[in-house]
């Protein structure tokens, strides 16, 4: 080095009884684990290490990239517990990424998490046809049933956000080396798909938030269960529509309360409408009550009682006692005015990680209803 022959260059080491090779297993070294090879480093002024371990045991090949810091490991292949004398108990197959610290996966142009079988050597990195087929089925159900509901007085479905995301997934690989001449790909989205199911579970809370639309679709049954309470709140209307088999709303215990606090309530039925109270009364209260039959016959209650008909009025009864004036009191509910107090905050470059707050900015906003 530098023309000085007295400066040695160490390019290797011959191991002996005094200088043993590094053990790539925490349980044992050579000669028992003779099928293990790799690289192991040692922390400067410390006892921890990093290692690349290759296991070429017949029928049990594996690889491990590991660091003692945080007990962080990437294990590939036939996974076993640390081997001793060339043997270790099996603990799985495939890939395991683990750490006692934190793990982050980042992909600026999209992340595909799939449990579908890959197409082998002919497959591509972003193969997702099964996922796209499922999204197509989903879009068709949303469109067909949503349009049908809208045609029958329910609120129409807004599928714009759903359709835009579907289009992003269709051209996801555009611009990559598999589709170099295509454009519009690389959307920073996450796709999660599996052929036999996806499950989420936690003893605490799950929070799901969408800035534009949240679409939950099932080809068969959509079921929601809460051990205590379900709260549904909407700033601009709630629509419930069943194409067949009806709607059941049951309060097994407690009151069933339906209110239109600042508008009308309308109940329509193609056939009979029944009101029953098994152990109480049916009480109707209003400033004025009007009952009208199809032939025009009516009873109007309020400021007295008025009966009218173009036909015959028939009374049946054992007695018809007539007494003096008598009335009953009413207790009609009152409703306060209010607003949703939704927060609005102006931001620059809102498409970039939420944007940058823009204080003291003059803005003009418009809602979908024209306000």
Question: Per residue in 20-39, pLDDT tens?
Answer: 667 777 766 667 778 888 88
Residue 15 in domain: yes
Residue 369 in domain: no
Residue 110 and residue 100 share a domain: no
Residue 314 in domain: no
Residue 4 and residue 99 share a domain: yes
56, 80, 104 - which closes a domain: 104
Mean pLDDT of the 14-19 span: 72
Q: Is the pLDDT of residue 297 over 80?
A: yes
Residue 175 and residue 126 share a domain: yes
Domain that holds residue 56: 1-104
Lowest-pLDDT range of 11-25, 261-275, 324-338: 11-25
Residue 94 and residue 6 share a domain: yes
Q: What is the domain count for the chain?
A: 2
CA 242 – CA 152 distance, rounded (Å): 10
Residue 110 and residue 143 share a domain: yes
Residue 114 and residue 85 share a domain: no
CA 222 – CA 241 distance, rounded (Å): 14
- DSSP codes joined into one string, 135-191: HHHHHHHHHHHHHHHHHTTSPPP--HHHHHHHHHHHTTTTTSTTSTT--S-----EE
Residue 156 in domain: yes
196, 219, 243 - which closes a domain: 196
Res. 220 pLDDT band, cuts 50 70 90: very high
Lowest-pLDDT range of 30-39, 104-113, 134-143: 30-39
Residue 62 in domain: yes
Evaluated on CA atoms 117, 121, 125, 129, the torsion sign reads negative
Residue 63 in domain: yes
pLDDT digit string, tens, across residues 54-78: 999 999 999 999 999 999 999 999 9
104, 120, 135 - which closes a domain: 104
Residue 116 and residue 100 share a domain: no
pLDDT for 364:
75
Residue 221 in domain: no
Residue 170 and residue 118 share a domain: yes
Residue 161 in domain: yes
pLDDT digit string, tens, across residues 115-136: 999 877 788 889 999 999 999 9
Residue 135 and residue 65 share a domain: no
């Amino acid at each position: 080095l530098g023309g000085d022959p007295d400066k040695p260059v160490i390019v290797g080491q011959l191991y002996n009884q005094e200088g043993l090779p590094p053990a790539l297993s925490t349980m044992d070294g050579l000669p028992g684990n003779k099928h293990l090879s790799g690289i192991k480093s040692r922390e400067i002024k410390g006892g921890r290490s990093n290692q690349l371990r290759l296991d070429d045991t017949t029928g049990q090949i594996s690889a491990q990239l590991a660091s003692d810091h945080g007990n962080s490991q990437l294990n590939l292949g036939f996974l076993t517990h640390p081997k001793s004398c060339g043997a270790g108990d099996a603990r799985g197959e495939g890939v395991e990424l683990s750490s006692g610290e934190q793990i982050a996966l980042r992909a600026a142009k999209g992340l595909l998490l799939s449990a579908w079988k890959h197409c082998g050597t002919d497959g591509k990195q972003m193969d997702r046809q099964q996922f796209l087929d499922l999204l197509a089925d989903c879009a068709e159900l949303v469109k067909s049933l949503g349009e049908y509901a809208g045609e029958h007085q329910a609120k129409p479905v807004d599928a714009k956000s759903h359709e835009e995301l579907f289009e992003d997934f269709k051209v996801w690989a555009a611009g990559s080396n598999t589709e170099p001449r295509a454009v519009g790909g690389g959307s920073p989205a996450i796709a999660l798909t599996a052929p036999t199911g996806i499950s989420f579970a936690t003893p605490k809370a799950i929070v799901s938030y969408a800035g534009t639309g949240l679409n939950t679709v099932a080809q068969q049954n959509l079921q929601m269960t809460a051990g205590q309470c379900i709260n549904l709140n909407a700033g601009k209307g709630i629509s419930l529509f069943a194409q067949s088999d009806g709607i059941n709303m049951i309060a097994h215990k407690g009151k069933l309360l339906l209110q239109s606090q600042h508008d009308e309530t309308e109940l329509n039925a193609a056939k009979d409408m029944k009101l029953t109270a098994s152990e109480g009364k049916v009480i109707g209260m209003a400033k004025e009550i009007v009952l009208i039959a199809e032939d025009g016959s009516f009873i109007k209650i309020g400021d007295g009682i008025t009966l009218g008909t173009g036909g015959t009025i028939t009374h049946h009864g054992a007695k018809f006692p007539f007494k003096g004036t008598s009335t009953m009191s009413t207790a009609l509910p009152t409703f306060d005015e209010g607003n949703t107090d939704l927060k609005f905050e102006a931001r620059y470059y809102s498409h970039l990680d939420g944007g940058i707050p823009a204080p003291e900015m003059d803005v003009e906003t418009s809602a979908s209803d024209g306000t």
